[in-house]
Structure 1
Amino acid sequence: MRTKRGTPRPGTTRRRTRLLAVALGLLTATAVAVPGAAAAPARTPQPEQLAAISEAVLHAEVDGTAWYIDEAAGRVVVTADSTVSTAALNRLTQVSGGDASVLTVRRVPGAFTPLVSAGDAIYGGQYRCSLGFNVADSHDHYFLTAGHCGNVAAQWYTDAAHKTLIGPTLSSTFPGHDYALVRYDNPALSHPGGFTSAPNAVLGEQVKRTGSTTGTHSGRVTGLNVTVRYSGGGGTVRGLIQTNVCAEPGDSGGPLFDGTKALGLTSGGSGNCTVGGTTFYQPVNAALAAYGVKVY
């Protein structure tokens, strides 16, 4: 019996299917056996490459960004606040040399700003900040606070009316670092301790922060040796601790700690304690070394 032109005879389709399957199987086996056909393993960026990208991010001069090198992941991690434009983000991506695998960019709400405001706690000029850690040397007692606070006030008081003097700002550094030293000149004021100096914070460490605006809040360390370029030309600070602990204006200078371990001084961040945020801290050990004092 004839079949219509172009229509295979019964059984022909099955034979061709089997032959095609065998041919594909042979092709697959041959392809797998070809030397060098397997995908090459991803190359881990060298530390000097990551350091160069970190410096390139710095020189891109994008306000509202913070970044650090994650050596374990082989990446430079950039956090950008809501003020950073799409064009600026593209500029950051370009500094990686087009290799997106070595640069991670994350967005967060709010704007990265030094957390200083007019209000209550320790007062200087028209501003309110927070006392960090009490410290001492062989001669006197002092306290540490944020450098951007020390920059705006020569004298500090316990009240907004400036009636009860604490003492003068002896030294202040901001930007670059963010710490200041204030001396206790009022013998009527107590300056209790309770903290000890400790090694630097570690990634993932559970920590607490206390500030004059929002009290005590907790969270964890999310980045180390972070560089932040504050929004609105607020300055660039290196070597910071990044956390997901909330903070608000006026909390600047307040202590970051783990139990009795003194870890850092509140520098700045974004968000608030209603929705949460990202906050940066000056490691306290850098301030202790700069001023030759000890926390107690």
Structure 2
Amino acid sequence: MRRKTVLRARVSAMLVAGGLAAAAFIPTATATTSGADSASDSASTSAAAKPASDALLSAMQRDLGLTKKQATVRLAAEKKATAAQDDARRAAGASYGGSWFDTERNTLAVAVTDEAKADAVRKTGASVRVVEHSAKRLAATMKKIDKLSVPAGVSSWQVDDRTNRVVVNVVDSKESDDDVRAFVADARESGPVTVAKVAEAPRTTAAGTVGGDPYYTGNVRCSIGFSVHGGFVTAGHCGPKGQAVNGWDRSRIGEFQGSTFPGNDYAWVNVANGWWTEPVVLGWGTVSDQLVRGSKEAPIGASICRSGSTTHWHCGNIQAKNVTVNYSQGPVYSMTQTSVCAEGGDSGGSYISGDQAQGITSGGSGNCSSGGTTFFQPLNPVLSKYGLTLHTA
């Protein structure tokens, strides 16, 4: 990298050069404050190691409406819930109906169709809810809907573990359109489906060239995602395979080595020409730069933060997984929905929960003034697809 890049403010130069410009997604910010100040929670706080930096805790206080104590307790509880997910699912067996982080109780909640499995699931530390439909049944419903022809008035659809149904999201102003009504009717025939309204359709979050710590593909600015050995991952809609990539200072970084959009929304770029990678997510001065130590998937309901080249650092909650998002370019499958804000240029940025990498910003609706809903491409399938290894601290 050129000397002037090295001399740039450390908060952006090293990290962008490292292939990790930030994390970004779009939220409908929902804050939960109840249940975090009990005596048992206090005990767990003192017993557990400090889960995050003071700056990260401050960001959670700002965006989730938590006290510092509540944020500390919640991160510790989320870490425990994340570790318990696999054991709880195995304990539930074929009766598994989904799971999420219960922000009221600060525990992992698991849905089961067979009450006889409840005790085994509780032994993993999770709470239990008995439901009608298994996760397998809901996934089959999703696959059937994914095969339908989708009108523009349908925003997305996903499994809602909490309600034990597939939710089809329809743009409010398009609800009465004949093609939307026909899609909803066909979706209901696929299985347990409910319909929800959204204010607007999702859009990708790429933008024209603006200042900041981005990368550029021609006349488009996106955000660097997570560093991998030899490069970084980002959003597929930011550029096709072979597209040249320049850094914040317009010096050459590398090229897109692989890219998919729609269907999926992921890509990876090689790092060369004097650039290097760092296992860091940029805090933009709002929080300390965050070290990446792994990519263990957080449960639904867990807090999550992101940093992007437009709107910098924001936090929210994981709202749903396995969401199909209907962009104007076509559906993208297996996305995760969050309540964090993002805007144009944040595409490709990182979502992180604690010190665990979660995914790559794709798009959404709303903005960081009024709030919104964003979607990210989960990280681990991207690493697997391209045979990449996450750069960790």
- Relative to the length of structure 1, the TM-score reads 0.75
Unaligned runs of 5+ residues in structure 2 are: 1-130, 280-290
Preserved contact between residue 225 and residue 233 of structure 2 (Cα < 8 Å): yes
- One of 167, 182, 190 as aligned partner of 1:91: 182
Report matched runs for 1:98-109 at 5 Å: 102-109=192-199
Q: Does residue 331 of structure 2 align to residue 236 of structure 1? A: yes
Asked whether the 8 Å contact 2:150–2:183 carries over to 1, the reply is no
Q: In the alignment, what sits opposite 1:174?
A: 261
Ranges in structure 1 where 5+ consecutive residues have no aligned partner: 1-42
- Judged with a 3 Å threshold, the aligned counterparts in structure 2 of structure 1 residues 179 and 235 are, in CA distance, closer, same or farther, namely same
Paired residues of 1:201 and 1:263 also in contact (CA < 8 A): yes
User: 2:155 and 2:362 mapped to 1: Cα distance?
Assistant: 14
Q: CA deviation at 1:128?
A: 0.4
Q: RMSD of aligned C-alpha atoms?
A: 2.4
Answer whether contact 2:342 2:368 (CA < 8 A) is retained: yes
**1:211 is matched by which residue type in structure 2?**
G
Secondary structure, in 3 states, of the residue corresponding to 1:287?
helix
Aligned residue for 1:290, secondary structure, equals helix
Alignment of 1:93-242 (within 5 A): 93-97=184-188, 102-120=192-210, 121-136=214-229, 141-151=230-240, 154-159=243-248, 162=250, 164-187=251-274, 189-193=275-279, 194-230=291-327, 232=328, 234-242=329-337
- Alpha-carbon offset, residue 115 of structure 1: 1.1
Identity of matched residues, %: 36
Distance 1:156 1:50, change over 3 A: same
Amino acid at match of 2:158: Y
Q: Structure 1 224/97 Cα, relative in aligned 2: closer, same or farther at 3 Å?
A: closer
1:259 matches 2:345: no
Which residue, out of 108, 111, 132, partners 1:44?
132
Q: Which residue of 2 aligns with 1:26?
A: none
Q: Aligned residues, how many?
A: 244
Cα deviations by residue, 1:215-259 (Å, 9 ceiling, x for unpaired)? 0111000001111111x3x22111111011111111000000012
Shift of 1:80: 2.8
Alpha carbons 2:242, 2:257 under 8 Å: kept: no
Amino acid at match of 1:133: F
How far apart are residue 195 of structure 1 and its match?
1.0
Q: What is the alpha-carbon distance in structure 2 between the residues aligned to residue 52 and residue 281 of structure 1?
A: 22
- 1:271 Cα offset (Å): 0.6
Deviation string for 1:31-89 (max 9, x for gaps)? xxxxxxxxxxxx93465654454344330413342111235533111223456442244
CA distance in 2: counterparts of 1:229 and 1:110, whole angstroms: 12
Question: 1:293, 1:49 → 2: CA distance?
Answer: 32
**CA–CA distance in 2 between the matches of 1:83 and 1:237?**
22
The answer on whether the counterparts of 1:124 and 1:153 sit within 8 Å (CA) in structure 2 is no
- 1:234-291 Cα distance to aligned partner (Å, 9 max, x none): 2211111101111111100000001211000001101100111110000010111112
Contact 1:125 1:152 in 2 (8 A): no
Indicate conservation of the 8 Å contact 1:82/1:111, yes or no: no
- Once the two structures are TM-superposed, the CA of residue 103 in structure 1 deviates from its matched residue by 2.1
- Whose helix proportion is higher, 1 or 2? 2
Aligned to 1:21: none
Q: 2:172 touches 2:199 (CA, 8 Å); kept in 1?
A: yes
**Which of the two has higher C-alpha Rg?**
1
* Partner SS state of residue 196, structure 1: coil
